Structure 1
Amino acid sequence: METTAARRIAERFSRLPAEQRRVVYEGIRSKGLTLDQFPILPREDAAQDRCHVSYAQLRQWFLWQLDPQSTAYHVSDALKLTGALDVDAVRTSFEALVARHESLRTVFRADADGLAEQVIREDGQLDFSLLDLSLADAGAREAMAREAARRIGNTPFDLTRGPLMRVALIRLAPETHVLVLVMHHIVSDGGSLQIIVDEFAAQYRACVQHEAVVLQPMPIQYADYAVWQRHWLEAGELERQLAYWKTQLGGTQPVLQLPLDHARRPDGRYGAATHRFEVPASLVQGLQKRARHQEGTLFMVLLAGFQVLLGRYSGQEDIRVGVPIANRHRMETEGMVGFFVNTQVLRALVDSRTSLLQVLAQAHEAALGAQMHQDLPFEQLVEALQPERVPGIQPLFQVLFNHQRGDFSGLDGLPGLALEPYGLGAQAAQFDLMLVTDESPDGRLHATFSYAAELFEARTMERMADH
């Protein structure tokens, strides 16, 4: 469709009342047109400072109201910086990020009807702190820094007051610092962390070298996306995609029963522990070769292997695994900080007679189908399928697999600084078990089992990793 015509239709669509939007949507579908052919437009002036939340934000708001002290949905990272650090440049760089991205100056509240809304502040305030431990006892400094970093990462956010991004520097010595970044998931996700890292590096480099930073203008902001999402899904796209997922998952939603080392707690709250390992390079190469042979991806091969492993441990045949998807397939959202990530449920039927190739074929088909129906918010799927709710057990899936291909090489060029990762310690566990695989640009594959520490022993995770 010609760009000008698509924009005119999108503008008209955004101004229509709900019942007329449905009529226009049905007309668009009848002509064989799809959602991706119409642009996301800036929201109306009346919604500039407050508007609807996205569906993903709505669930985060609900979860936060249930447990405002939880840290399960903190997005955090930390780096150790060695060299001559310009603290003012760090602060200035993050202030520029807050000014550029509306999500980082957004808070949330219930409107007069009790419905959640996001409130965008015109002048965002950066939560920035500097803790100087350089004069503390040298033998205790590292322990004090780690305790401070954990405290910063585990301090709950107030979604109604903000700010919902926290930046802290911990000084161990004049040329040794720890940079801690913490955000609430309601305004950020893994893709946003990559954007923040890249833009911080560009801002800091320009600041210390006294140069102007050049970034592409933001075509829209996250609140524009939230309004667009609600309009299109309520017009009929939700029903279309929901029909696919109902067919995929069926009428019954089994709970994965992994053998636990300890009984579940009545309150369903668990701390997260991790077991990290690197997949041997020869095995990675073999998996990639198999993926190419099956016209698939490394993600599909790893998912199939994980589903087989879960089937063997649980003794069940119907294996459901939650998989986060970036949900940034539109050009307008590529460089934007916000909560875009969606969770999909990928199903495999595994029994003693099912070969690994057959499971891989299922994973291949499920992944491609999910990609074509990725706009349906997970929250809407839960609401439609109405699985039995059990305290402390996630609905629709209990185990998550997240395959990542991050590239933080932009930080390598920070003037005068050497960087290394800095662990923040345990947060609350979101799931019974989560497998995270990181595919690095050099072809290495790192894997991490994150698990509920009160349910599983460390040796169980070591055994599972060996398998």
Structure 2
Amino acid sequence: MHEVFEERVVVCPDAVAVVCGEVRLSYGEVNARANRLAHCLLGLGVGSLVGVCLGRGVDLVPALLGVLKAGAGYVPLDPAVPAERLGGMLADSGVSVVVTSSDLAGLVGGVFSGRVVVVDEVDFSGFSDVNPGVVCSPGGVVYVIYTSGSTGRPKGVVLEHRNVVRLLEVAERHYGFSSDDVWVLCHSFAFDVSVWELWGSLLYGGVLVVVPREVTRSPEDLLGVLVRHGVTVLNQTPSAFRGLVGLAGEGRVCLDRLRVVVFAGEKLELAELAPWVERFGLERPALVNMYGITETTVHTTYHRLVAGDLLPGGGNPVGRPLADLRVYLLDAFGCPVPVGVAGEIYVGGPGVARGYLNRPSLTAERFVPDPFGPAGGRLYRSGDLACRRADGSLDFLGRVDDQVKVRGFRIELGEIVAVLRRVEGVVDAVVVVREDVPGDRRLVGYVVGEGVDPVRLREELSRSLPEYMVPSAFVGVAAIPLNNNGKLDRRALPVPGRGALAAGVDFVAPRSVVEELVAGIWRDVLGVERVGVHDNFFELGGHSIRAVALVGA
């Protein structure tokens, strides 16, 4: 990776490589800074991995390159995550050195006892700015990114230089990357989409605009960055892109240079794009949906959206695998499923990661022998579902182990969200399944807008949705919470209180012993704080299964 960058430095040493606020660094300047850090790290005798804990500032890109030039792979440590999680990743990865900044040194010092290089305090003038020339192999570790584990313990995915270099070489056939491109680093460098943003820009001579986290959370501020810098390639999770779609619907977006928007990280709800498409169409910028997995190097498939995709019943197209990858859809017995039948996604080819760091049993479980390819090949078992269309392209369906099913009804949450967002006064919304009472799953809508009225929202949705698809509660929020990776942060969604229920009556307290007894039974069965005399059992979240429990009580 760093050798490809060094080749670019020879070609265009004075071209702008990184922009951060008012600071602009050329390719030559970035390379010199990275070299000095690399020589510093080599003097410390770094091992195969080096931790990097930095904010999205001017030091980030030189630091990552410096680690690679020292012959190590980087372990990205996002300072926004809890200290306990950082400590767990540091202990698991076994790094002996962490690169950080003075404002984060206290955070690192609280969870790490090894050597710390504080980049804004070290005098690097005594270190050479010449390429170290450390011999690396394409199979060397380039980074270890930690992803959430089903057990709650993060797992480190080990990627190699060749995994990333081939991704950018293959994807370039679709995108035509060049030195004219301006990219934005919108995502945490501990999220694999950042790999695409960072190196897609720098290995092709483009400009990388480093965007502070707080700017990425403000659609207006992000729009200002896109316009001011003439961004040409924008990468977004669907959740983060909603804000720009809203601005487009208001006619406030003018992005003459933007040539492509790449979606990744979450399932794309195509109906949400309508205001954007009405404003810009689908030609420029092109809208590309790329299904991807950290374990198969960021992106696995490519699909450029066409008008037919936005029609009702258009599915969730993710297209075909990148040219050097293979995707199989297999049933529970490892056999290929027919066209139109759901199967689990297995991915093979040179994008498949080395495995999980220090987790041999988990690696063996998820990285399995490839019975369809060359001897010794491996497939990554994703846990995702898709079906194949007659033309060979794929429709993404969701997770094998996380189907949305409530009281026996299989529900598409995107359909509910699409109806909810059409209600007057609703600016944004999400719908999730909550299980605040064990064994009792219910739909809850979270709405951004003025004066969220659960009764009105329930009435509006009941006009076009069956009863089992209407949320039992609606919670007003100032904004839809996103996590460090720009995805929906489900844990930050508040537990709905009584005011979120669609019970459109004034509260009247129980007036007798019998009414108090009945109200108490309802409170226990429904899991609500209080029950009034005139409340409706079903509008408080009751349903047929709870009614059985009510009779039993």
Q: TM-score range by the shorter chain?
A: under 0.3
The TM-score with structure 2 as length reference comes to 0.23
The TM-score with structure 1 as length reference comes to 0.26
Q: Which structure has more helix as a fraction of its residues?
A: 1
Decide which structure has the larger Cα Rg and report it: 2
